Amino acid sequence: MTSITEPPAESFRLSQLIYDTRYRSMTIQVVAFALILFAIYWLGRNIVANLEDLGKDFDFGFLTSRAGYDINQRLIEYSNESTHGRAALVGILNTLLVAVLGCALATVLGVIAGVLRLSRNWIVARLMTVYVEGFRNIPLLLWIILIFAVMTEATPRPADFRGDEPAASMIVGDSIAVTNRGIYIPNVLFTRSLGGNEVLPAADGGAAAVSPAASSLDWLLFIAVVVAGFFGARAIGRWATATQEATGIRPPGTFWMRVAVIILPAAIVLVALGATLDLPHLRGFNFTGGIHLRNSLIALWLALSLYTGAFIAEIVRAGILSVSNGQTEAAFALGMRPNWTMNLVILPQAMRVIIPPLISHYLNLTKNSSLAIAVGYMDVRSTLGGITINQTGRELEGMLLLGLFYLVTSLIISGVMNMYNNSVKLKER
């Protein structure tokens, strides 16, 4: 009787790292990673050596030195006695402000234009086509300069608001003034503030700089309450949906419950902090009080929003067209109205096509905000990447910090949008 024995285990040989498919891919990755590390080390060593030859060192100590220049648009307290690090922070916040406002407005404009471009009304569809093709095919820089020129040349001077019969007047109940120096809107101040009630003067001695309120703690609390309210509203919506799926009946008053969860806590916080409105008013040769939105901010915001919105409109149109016509026909057969069909049937299915390219355009809008230097808006490119580098001569350190900021911001935007994309994508059962 013969017995079958297992063949002896093959011993490992170095040649297997190249010729054995089980190890070859890992070998290539390890070698590539080692080469990349060596290249980074070689590049860094050469940079340091070249800096030493020029009598320079690699140091970020300049961030603690006095900046010595003013920033006309800011969200936090700043003066020319502040440090370069503080100036960089002001520029970062200005960049994030434009990015957030631009992404929000561009999304609204893009969704509306994308839907209307598919309208059966010939005039509406053609008007949206003119908007999309016009903004997509003209460089963004030209739109920024054009809108800035219109805001500066076609709006009245503050002096035109003076006199018994002024040539210009404020709007919205005499609470907003549109001038060639910018737009003045009401500001919110707190009489029982958590962190004081100091108003930041502008660099030119005019109205307050862009600061919804001088106390950041007050607004951090308000924003936290609003965000918590949105999460609470979503929880109520999920509860109502689960109840409807289990019983077939949706709980009554769900919409008003969600609205109350968002509005009531925010209103209580405002009342508790003693929120009051600080309206702009003409004093001397300029407006004082309220919030001053400079023309550079308005021009950059509108140009970025309109330009990016044109691209988003095409993304939305492609996403809608990707949904089968049978979905629309089935919704109409159930008696759903066209607007309900679009909001409840078409757009939710189109989102899986819309979100991935939408992320890229959010990133482009954030990076395109660096064109702010063309109209004098002090973003991070103008502060850290411009004046600070020119004054300190730390071009390498400044550009590294500037690139790191854009990299981290882009990664955060991508991460948040990818999380949202995972939440709305189709779930296989």
- Amino acid of residue 389: I
Segment 120-140 shows an average pLDDT of 92
| Whole-number Å distance between alpha carbons of 213 and 219 | 7
- % helix, strand, coil for the chain, step of 5: 65, 5, 30
Asked if the structure places residue 254 within a domain, the reply is yes
- Amino acid of residue 70: D
pLDDT tens-digit series, residues 227-266? 999 999 989 988 988 888 888 787 888 888 998 999 999 9
pLDDT score recorded for residue 396: 84
| Whole-number Å distance between alpha carbons of 250 and 269 | 31
For the chain, percent of residues with pLDDT exceeding 90: 30
Q: Please say if the pLDDT value at position 213 is more than 50.
A: no
Asked if the structure places residue 349 within a domain, the reply is no
Contact 405, 380 (CB under 8 A): yes
Asked if the structure places residue 273 within a domain, the reply is yes
Asked if the structure places residue 66 within a domain, the reply is no
Most confident of 17-31, 132-146, 188-202, 348-362: 132-146
Residue 227's domain spans which residues? 187-278
Which residues is 188 bridged to in the sheet?
277
Asked if the structure places residue 272 within a domain, the reply is yes
| Whole-number Å distance between alpha carbons of 175 and 281 | 8
| Whole-number Å distance between alpha carbons of 222 and 201 | 23
**Mean of the per-residue pLDDT values of the chain:** 84
| Whole-number Å distance between alpha carbons of 305 and 103 | 7
pTM over cut 0.85: no
CA distances from 61 to 51, 66, 97 (A): 16, 11, 27
Q: Please say if the pLDDT value at position 333 is more than 80.
A: yes
Asked if the structure places residue 236 within a domain, the reply is yes
Asked if the structure places residue 263 within a domain, the reply is yes
Q: How many domains does the chain have?
A: 1
pLDDT score recorded for residue 350: 84
